[in-house]
Structure 1
């Protein structure tokens, strides 16, 4: 009996330690990327469209799996209408007209796929490329930090009425529907006057909206763009976007949980690209400081830069920071992994390094791996103050230099990669620079 008790206690200790250790980065007893994600979408044949969506959708509409739909030009769901989409439905964005889908403020989308039957938005071209079509916009009446209660999208969309592209209000609990188990591929068209579209834009979207298990891949713009609002995002995946994986602005209040950003130095566009770009405003004079400014509360993120020769890619300028934090924004990240960047984090040069600002920007229990430096102020080479602050044991951050093959379970699997941390192979180190430098 005594021996059985000892074995049981040993098991509990080992199991408890394993469970406690495996809390950094994306988590799950199983690889939750399977089977709904697709890391080789250019190899998938989605079929030809059987129905066209165009103009305004002004009455409740349901898209069926048996049909394949074509977004022709800018499509708007208006007049408090609900657009429902069956699991497994394919919606193609038209290349010639740069199709897009906008769910206007007051309308709803119910795109509730499943892990075996995701809903897919992709390009209608046989040879797909980033920027083939527009993207998906969801607009709500949750607050922003701009003056007044409403703002308008500025992407060159052509609605029949201005209110169709307005967002923002006083309802943080706003409900714009459900987006779950959805893939958005090859979006992010470029416009001459308005820059790039994004894969998924959430503008003034509120807390009651359900946004889970969304994968945006090969987007020419940002994968996810959150403008104001108050949202909870769970199990997001950004794969090889050309600009930023997650961009926040205009007083966005966002909880980002158990999510992934996979960058490649070989697909980034001309603009500086990062995993997370956290801003409170474009112009300070446009922000109403009586309102809440941008706050991103992130937990269990994995931010990884996949490089075949990281040292050389950094040397030739192909690798940027993982996270950029702008003036007046607040940011908290916990139990996360940041691997393979130059450096891990940059603060806007306007942020003064004092106790007040450092209380607004928190890094705790985070694993910094293979980064050429950790946390810096923009254009300032000496980061000793920040290293001392965030290196304090109270924050429980870890610094290491390990190859991807030893850091993650299986990042080299082209079909079904696994980006969970390989805990048993971790060797922590305070050495943050290459010995050869």
Structure 2
């Protein structure tokens, strides 16, 4: 009897020695699936590995929700793939730092698919004479009209989302895609901790609108890291990091369709870096400045670190380029461009004038008090995690 009671006591000790908190949680198994066609009713994609087939369009009034850690793979062999959120539709794609939502390509080469495209009806400006609200037609080959008066348009929430090997281009300016394309997206949309990796066109492009974006990485994209037009005016942008390597043009290409506007975007904490021996897309146009202003582009920028924009030959390569006389006169001298707390490294030429539309010389005096330098500017600050790692490459190693 004593032996039996002793065995029972030992058994009780074994079974009560581990609390519920100490039990291992079984690994979550991803589902396998395909996403294709129009999304016409609210849909949630559970954690899984999906094939992205065709231009998948989230229709107006519909919400597509994607669980953290999911992966979507495009294959150019089946045609033009991409995820499109039409005006009135919503994408809720909230990953985490260690469980990002990843969109990639079967063939890991830039230009394989169309990336993520979102449409809204926030304000744009592309004409100096047309009354508001103004509209335009998309340059992605879908010929979708964008623009409007809904400044708070809400296209959903994208957090910790990575787009790889996008930038499918058929024809420049008429049918081309970026990593992320935001057409008149409004301030109600959340864009945070996003990565555009090794696409064949721009990493991020804003076509007007009022949306802001925080904690962005544009890495190895073949055209511009960040690009905008149509009078984009997001006000709460911060922590932008561009690393240009292989082939690339501008770190930031800034324009406003030639409209002398009185509004502008605001971006704080910017790091623009260019690796040695990075080439430009075309040998006929060797421009690769860190920041380029043209067509009345403007903005308020601060805490900027620029590194590696050394001239490959006279007249090419600088920290800040102004392309045309109208932009110089109305935006730079007119006080609508602020570049505050700028630190340069390995960038011998600070200012470059292209003299389109008439001769001018841009320099620090052109900005008045709106250009200041700093020896301590830190640029972007971003957290580490799987969201910023691709195939063993730590995207923040050069930050």
Is this a same-fold pair by TM over 0.5? yes
Match of 1:302 in 2: 271
Match of 2:141 in 1: 156
- C-alpha distance in 1, partners of 2:125/2:284? 38
- Cα 1:385–1:244, aligned 2, differ >3 Å: closer, same or farther? closer
The within-5 A match list for 1:24-63 is 50-63=32-45
Match of 2:148 in 1: 169
- C-alpha distance in 2, partners of 1:115/1:71? 23
Cα deviation per residue 1:110-153 (whole Å; 9 max; x = unaligned)? 0011111000000023xx10011111101111111145544332
Cα deviation per residue 1:188-229 (whole Å; 9 max; x = unaligned)? 112147353101001111111100000000010111010010
C-alpha contact (below 8 Å) 2:353/2:362 kept by paired residues: no
The within-5 A match list for 1:41-190 is 50-65=32-47, 67-96=48-77, 97-125=79-107, 128-146=108-126, 147=130, 148-157=133-142, 165-190=144-169
C-alpha contact (below 8 Å) 2:31/2:46 kept by paired residues: no
C-alpha contact (below 8 Å) 1:293/1:328 kept by paired residues: no
C-alpha contact (below 8 Å) 2:293/2:327 kept by paired residues: no
1:205 aligns with 2:185: yes
- Unmatched 5+ stretches in structure 2: 1-28, 310-316, 377-391
1:351 aligns with 2:331: no
Query: Of residues 286, 303, 306 in structure 2, which corresponds to 1:338?
Result: 306
Query: Of residues 336, 346, 349 in structure 2, which corresponds to 1:370?
Result: 346
- C-alpha distance in 1, partners of 2:326/2:145? 31
Extract structure 1 runs of 4+ deviating beyond 4 A: 315-319, 352-356, 382-385, 392-395
- Cα 1:317–1:154, aligned 2, differ >3 Å: closer, same or farther? closer
Cα deviation per residue 1:270-322 (whole Å; 9 max; x = unaligned)? xxx101111101xx4xx6x7xx5672312110000011699xxxx99967211
- Cα 1:416–1:131, aligned 2, differ >3 Å: closer, same or farther? closer
- Cα 1:185–1:49, aligned 2, differ >3 Å: closer, same or farther? farther
- Cα 1:294–1:198, aligned 2, differ >3 Å: closer, same or farther? farther
Cα deviation per residue 1:140-172 (whole Å; 9 max; x = unaligned)? 111111455443323223xxxx7xx33221111
Q: Secondary structure at the match of 1:187?
A: coil
C-alpha contact (below 8 Å) 2:203/2:224 kept by paired residues: yes
Match of 1:191 in 2: 170
- C-alpha distance in 1, partners of 2:343/2:214? 20
Q: How high is the TM-score relative to the length of structure 2?
A: 0.76
- Cα 1:346–1:267, aligned 2, differ >3 Å: closer, same or farther? same
- C-alpha distance in 2, partners of 1:370/1:231? 33
- Cα 1:393–1:150, aligned 2, differ >3 Å: closer, same or farther? closer
Query: Of residues 323, 340, 354 in structure 1, which corresponds to 2:291?
Result: 323
Greater CA drift, 187-196 or 67-76: 187-196
The within-5 A match list for 1:369-408 is 369-379=345-355, 386-389=363-366, 395-398=371-374
C-alpha contact (below 8 Å) 2:289/2:321 kept by paired residues: yes
- C-alpha distance in 2, partners of 1:394/1:172? 28
- Unmatched 5+ stretches in structure 1: 1-46, 401-412, 421-437
C-alpha contact (below 8 Å) 1:201/1:225 kept by paired residues: yes
- Cα 1:356–1:138, aligned 2, differ >3 Å: closer, same or farther? closer
C-alpha contact (below 8 Å) 2:219/2:244 kept by paired residues: yes
Q: Secondary structure at the match of 2:52?
A: strand
Match of 2:385 in 1: none
Q: CA deviation at 1:49?
A: 9.1
C-alpha contact (below 8 Å) 1:73/1:94 kept by paired residues: no
- C-alpha distance in 1, partners of 2:151/2:54? 31
- C-alpha distance in 2, partners of 1:69/1:121? 9
C-alpha contact (below 8 Å) 1:237/1:259 kept by paired residues: yes
